[in-house]
Structure 1
Amino acid sequence: MMKTLFLQPPSFDGFDGGAGSRYQARREIKSFWFPTWLAQPAALVEGSKLIDAPPARLGLDPILAQARSYDLCVIHTSTPSFANDVEVARRLKEANPSMKIGFVGAKVAVQPTESLAQGGAIDFVARNEFDFTIKEIAEGRDLASVDGITWRNPSGVLVQNKDRAMLEDMDRLPFVTEVYKRDLRIEDYFIGYLLHPYVSLYTGRGCKSRCTFCLWPQTVGGHRYRTRSPDHVVEEIALAKRYFPQVREFFFDDDTFTDDLPRAEAIARKLGKLGVQWSCNAKANVPRETLKVLRDNGLRLLLVGYESGNQQILHNIKKGMRIEVARRFTQDCHELGIKIHGTFILGLPGETTETIRETIRFATDINPHTIQVSLAAPYPGTFLYNQAVENGWLDAANAELVDDHGVQIAPLHYPHLSHTEIFDSVETFYRQFYFRAPKIASIVGEMIRSPQMMKRRLREGVEFFHFLRERHKAA
C-alpha cells in the first residue's frame, strides 16, 4: 500500500474548494463544507491522511514538510482553483520528486487531457467516480490497468484508460466519519444556515433533475439517484453521534435527498429514534404529508434551490419546477415550522432586468428563513457551459469564474444584460431581502432568544459587509 496523502490545497483566503453540487468560491460569510469527496476514498486507503488546508488555515510550507514522507498525493481541484492547484503540485514534486500526484474532481473528470497538458507535475487524473480508482492506485496497481484514469506514461504520452463502471452498491463505501474523526477538527467547518458545529455526509449520489447549470450530476454523480440503505446511513449517524457529541446538526449533502420519498421517510423514522437534529437538500415539491413525517423525526431545515422566480427561466434551465408548486411547498414548510435556506441564481439564460426584479419579489414574498444569491456559473462539462460557448455569452477572460480573491464574478453576459448589471444585482437582492422591517425583527428576535446566536449573527454581519466591500473592489 502506497503511503497516501489526500489534499484540499491552500488557496484563496476563505475559499471553499470542497463545495458539493454548486459553486467553489468564497462565500458571503465564512463557510466551509466537509471535504467528503476526498474523505470517501481516504476511508478506503489504509494508513492515509487527509489535509483540508483552507478551513484549517494551513499554508503550503507545513504541507510540503509532511509530503516528503508520502508516495502518493491525491489533490481535489476545481475550475476556479485549478491554476493554483497545478502550482501546488509543482511544489510538491520539487519537495518529493518520487511522489505520484493525481487530481480528482469535476474539472479533471471532463477535461482530463487538457488538465494533464496544463499541469506537468500531474501524473494522472481520475474521471467520474474515483473512490475505488484511487484505492487501486494506492495498492500499487500499474496505471495501465486502472479503469477510469487518464495518465502520463514514462515517455510523456497521455493515455486514456477505459471508463470505470458506476458504483451500484453504495453500502460498499466505508464511513467518512472515521476520516473526519482521525484527520479533521469539526469546529473548523461553518455554514451560515446550519447549527454549529455540524457534520455533513452523503447518503447517495446522483440527481434525477436535469438542471443545466448543476455541476456534479453532469460530471461525476450522474442522473440516477444511487443510494445507501437506510440502515447503513443510520449506523453512520449513530457512530458520528458517539464520535462528536458536540454536534448540533447533521446535514445530508445529497444533491436532492428527497428524490426518493419513501426512503427519506424511512431514514427519518430511524433518525427520530436516535434523537438527532438534521437537515438536507430538497426540491420544492415535497408533499406536506412527507414534510410532516420528516419534521416529526428531527428535520430542522431544508436547503432548497428555487433559482428564479420567473417560470420561463425555470423552463430554460430544465428545472422541472412550477412556481405555484414551490409557493405551496414553502407555505407548508412555514406552517409546519420547517426552516428553509433558499438559493437563487442570477444571470441564467433568459435573465433580464425585469426577471431579476421578479425573482427578488418572489423571494421576499415566500420569505425563506435565509437565502444565498449566486451568479450563474458555466462549469465545463455542464449543458450551460456548452450553451454559453455556442451563443457567445462567455468570454475567455471570465472562464475561471472567480476573481483574484476567490469571489464569484458574473461570467455570463447577454446582448440586453451586461456582466456589471448581473454582478450588481446580487447586492441589490440581498439588501432588498434582508433590510426589511419584518426580516430584521425576525433576526433580532432570534438573537435575543439565544446569546450564542447573537454572537454568531454579529460575526456574520461583519463578514457580510466585508464581503460587499470586496465585491465593490472587484466591480
Structure 2
Amino acid sequence: MTMKTLFLQPPSFDGFDGGAGSRYQAKREIKSFWFPTWLAQPAALLPDSTLIDAPPAKLTMADVLPHATTHQLLIIHTSTPSFANDVKVAEEFKKLNPAMMVGFIGAKVAVQPIESLERAPVLDFVCGNEFDFTIKEIAEGKPLPEVLGIWWRNGNGEIVKNEDRPLLMDMDELPFVVDVYKKHLKMEDYFIGYLKHPYISIYTGRGCKSHCTFCLWPQTVGGHKYRTRSTANVIAEVKRAIELFPNVQEIMFDDDTFTDNLPRAEEIARELGKLKISWSCNAKANVPYSTLKVLKENGLRLLLVGYESGNQQILHNIKKGLRVDVAKRFTADCHKLGIKIHGTFIAGLPGETQETLKETIEFAKEINPHTIQVSLAAPYPGTFLYNQAVQEGWLDVANAELIDDHGVQIAPLHYPHLSHKEIFDSVETLYREFYFRPSKILSILKEMALSPQMLVRRLREGLEFKAFLKERQETKLA
C-alpha cells in the first residue's frame, strides 16, 4: 500500500527571510509568498497525499502536528537558512509518531547530504537533484536500497549513498501542479509585490543555460540544460488553472530563465494570446526587440530581470554573460513596448567597492525599472561563489547559515576593502535613492490613483517598507 504522505512547508517565525534560496517565505522589504511548486510537483504524483504550506496560511505547530498520527511519510523542503528550524519540526513529528519515515528535499541536502544526515539523526533519508519520482517510489514502498538518488540511514545507523537518479528529460511526464494548489492551498494567501493578485505560478521547464556563480538552483538541482515541457502541455495547464481559479489575474512562469529558448517563448506566447490572460516570467536582460514585441502583443505584462550590478567587471566576475550596454538597450526596448520590469540587484558580489555600489545605484536610476529588489550576496553551499568565498577567506564560519538569530538575511561576505556592515547598509541606500525620487514617487501615486486594488496594495506595502527601513536603522544602532 502507498504510504500516506505529508508534504510540509513547516511553520516558521514572523519575519523569517533567508533570501532567494530560503524555500518560499521571504520578508525582505515587503512580505512575499511564492507557491510551493517544488513540493506540489511530487504531491501531484501521489493523489492521496497532503500538502501543507504553513507560513502563508499562518499555521502554527499546534495546527500541523496532529497530521503526524495520520501520515506515515513526512517530506520537508529545506534550505540552508531554514535547516535548523526544519529539523526541530521533524523531531516533533517523530516524537508523536516514531514509526513515521522522514525525508528532506532541496538544494541544501542535495549538496550536503552526509553532513545533513549527521546533523539530523531524525532523518531517514535525503534526496539529491530532482526528487519527484524518488518520493513517489519511496511512498509506494520501494525498498530504500533500490531507490535512485538518495542518501539513507540503514538499520545500523550507517549512511548509505545510492546511485544517482538521472535528470528527467521528458518534462511532460510530470502531472499538473494546479490541481494540487486547488485541493490544498488558498490562492489568496500568495502575493508578490510586482505581480497582480491573485496570481498562479508554474514551471514550464527546469534548468538554466547561464552560469552565474551565485545562483543556487542551476548549480544544485536544476542543471544548466533547459529542459522544457511541450507548448501544448503548458497551455493545457494554463487552461486548467483558469478553469480551477476563474479569478486568477496573472500567470507567472517561474522557470529560471523562460527566455533561454526564444522560439519556444514566442510559440507559447502566441498560444497565450488566444486565452487573453495576463502573464509574467523571468528573463535575461538580452532579449531582442523582435521577441519582446511578440511577447507583449500576446499578453506579457512584466519581466523579472536579474541585473545584479551596474558594473561590467562585477558581471564578468560572476560569469553573468551580460553586457551593461545590452542591458540598457533591452530595458529601453521594454519601456518602449510598455513591458514592466521588476529588476533585481545584489550587493556585495566579488569585486564590490563603495564606487561600484554607487555605480549600481546610478545604473538602476538610469534604466528605471518599474520596481526593484535588492538582495545581499549569499554564498549558498553547492555554488561556485561559496567555494570561492571559502577559498578566498570572504566567508566567516559564524555567518555560514546566512541569517541572524531572528531569521533575517545578513551580509555574510566581506572583503579587505568592504566590511559586512558597509555591504548591509548599501541595501537601504539603494532602495532610498531609487524610490525616494520625485519621478518615481509620482509614478507610484499615479498607479494607485488608476487602480483601487493597487491603492490598497501599495499602502500596505508602503507600511511594510517603512517598517523595513526602521528595522535596518535599529540594526545599525545595535
Q: Specify if TM > 0.5.
A: yes
Q: Decide whether the 8 Å contact of 1:219 with 1:382 is kept in 2.
A: yes
Report the counterpart of residue 237 of structure 1 in structure 2: 238
Query: How far has the Cα of 1:471 moved from its partner?
Result: 2.5
Quickly say closer, same or farther: Cα 1:134–1:22, change in 2 above 3 A. Answer: closer
Q: Is the 8 A contact 1:21 1:215 kept in 2?
A: no
Aligned-partner Cα distance in 1 for 2:454–2:348:
33
Conserved? CA contact 1:16–1:31, under 8 Å: no
2:68–2:94 contact (8 Å) kept in structure 1: no
Alignment deviations for residues 45-100 of structure 1 (CA, whole Å, 9 cap, x no partner): 12001000111111111211122110000000000000000100110100111100
Instruction: Tell me which residue corresponds to 1:446.
Output: 447
RMSD of aligned alpha carbons: 1.3
Report the equivalent of 1:295.
Answer: 296
Q: Counterparts of 1:362 and 1:16 in 2: how far apart (Å)?
A: 26
Residues 383-416 of structure 1 show CA distances to partners (whole Å, capped at 9, x for unaligned) of 0000000000001111111122222110000000
Q: Shift of residue 445 of structure 1?
A: 0.5
| Structure 1 gap segments, 5+ residues each | none
- The answer to whether the 8 Å contact 1:256/1:283 transfers is yes
One-letter amino acid of the structure 2 residue matched with residue 5 of structure 1: L
TM-score (norm 2): 0.98
Residue in structure 2 matched with residue 370 of structure 1 by the alignment: 371
Q: Distance in 1 between matches of 2:226 and 2:314?
A: 25
Inter-partner Cα distance in structure 2 for 1:429 and 1:289? 32
Residue deviations 1:170-190 (CA, integer Å, cap 9, x gap) = 000000001000000000001
Give the Cα separation in 2 of the matches to 1:339 and 1:20. 25
1:25–1:407 CA contact under 8 A, matched in 2? no
Q: Is the 8 A contact 2:9 2:52 kept in 1?
A: yes
- 3-state SS of paired residue (2:428): helix
Is the contact between residue 25 and residue 55 of structure 2 (CA under 8 Å) also seen in structure 1? no
Q: Give how far 1:296 is off.
A: 0.4
Aligned length: 475
Matched letter for residue 130 of structure 1 = F
Matched, 1:33 2:73: no
Equivalent AA in structure 2 for residue 203 of structure 1:
T
CA separation of 1:205 and 1:308: change in aligned 2, threshold 3 A: same
Does the 8 Å contact 1:25/1:408 carry over to 2? no
Matched letter for residue 290 of structure 1: T
Matched, 1:260 2:261: yes
Mapped pair 1:398 → 2:399: yes
Q: Give the CA deviation at 1:230.
A: 0.5
CA contact (8 A) 2:75 2:103 kept: yes
Query: Does the 8 A contact of 1:19 with 1:32 survive in 2?
Result: no
Q: What SS does structure 2 have at the residue aligned with 1:331? A: helix
AA aligned to 2:454 is M
Decide whether the 8 Å contact of 2:8 with 2:51 is kept in 1.
yes
CA contact (8 A) 1:347 1:412 kept: yes
Q: Per the alignment, in what secondary structure is the counterpart of residue 251 of structure 2?
A: strand
CA contact (8 A) 1:16 1:26 kept: yes
Alignment partner, residue 161 of structure 1:
162
Question: For structure 2, which runs of at least 5 residues remain unmatched after alignment?
Answer: none
* 2:6 counterpart residue number: 5
Equivalent runs, 1:350-365 vs 2, <5 Å: 350-365=351-366
Identity among equivalent positions (%) equals 73
1:46 matched residue in structure 2: 47
Cα contact 2:210–2:224 (8 A) shared by 1: yes
Amino acid at match of 2:44: A
Q: Is the 8 A contact 1:18 1:33 kept in 2?
A: no
Inter-CA distance 444–186: structure 2 relative to 1 (3 Å threshold): same
Partner of 1:341: 342
Q: What is the identity, as a one-letter code, of the residue corresponding to 1:303?
A: L
Contact 1:171 1:229 in 2 (8 A): yes
Q: Where does 1:241-252 land on structure 2 (aligned, <5 Å)?
A: 241-252=242-253
In structure 1, what is the equivalent of residue 115 of structure 2?
114
Contact conserved, 1:17 with 1:77, CA < 8 A, in 2? Answer: no
What per-residue deviation string (whole Å, max 9, x for no partner) do you get for residues 222-280 of structure 1?
00000000000000000000100111000000000000000000000000111111000
Judged with a 3 Å threshold, the aligned counterparts in structure 2 of structure 1 residues 203 and 383 are, in CA distance, closer, same or farther, namely: same
Alpha carbons of 1:15 and 1:378: their partners in 2 closer, same or farther (altered >3 Å)? same
Residue 472 of structure 1 and its aligned partner are, at CA, apart by 3.1
- Structure 2 contact 76–104 (Cα < 8 Å) conserved: yes
Q: Which amino acid aligns with 1:406?
A: G
Q: Per the alignment, in what secondary structure is the counterpart of residue 282 of structure 2?
A: strand
1:386 aligns with 2:387: yes
Per the TM alignment, residue 470 of structure 1 is displaced from its structure 2 partner at its CA by 2.3
Q: Please tell me the residue identity of whatever aligns with 2:201.
A: S
Correspondence for 2:425: 424
Q: Secondary structure at the match of 2:416?
A: coil
For residues 31 and 247 of structure 2, what CA distance do their matches in structure 1 show?
20
1:19·1:33 contact (CA, 8 Å) conserved in 2?
no
Please state whether the residue corresponding to 2:32 is helix, strand or coil.
coil
SS of corresponding position for 1:303: strand
Aligned position for 1:100? 101
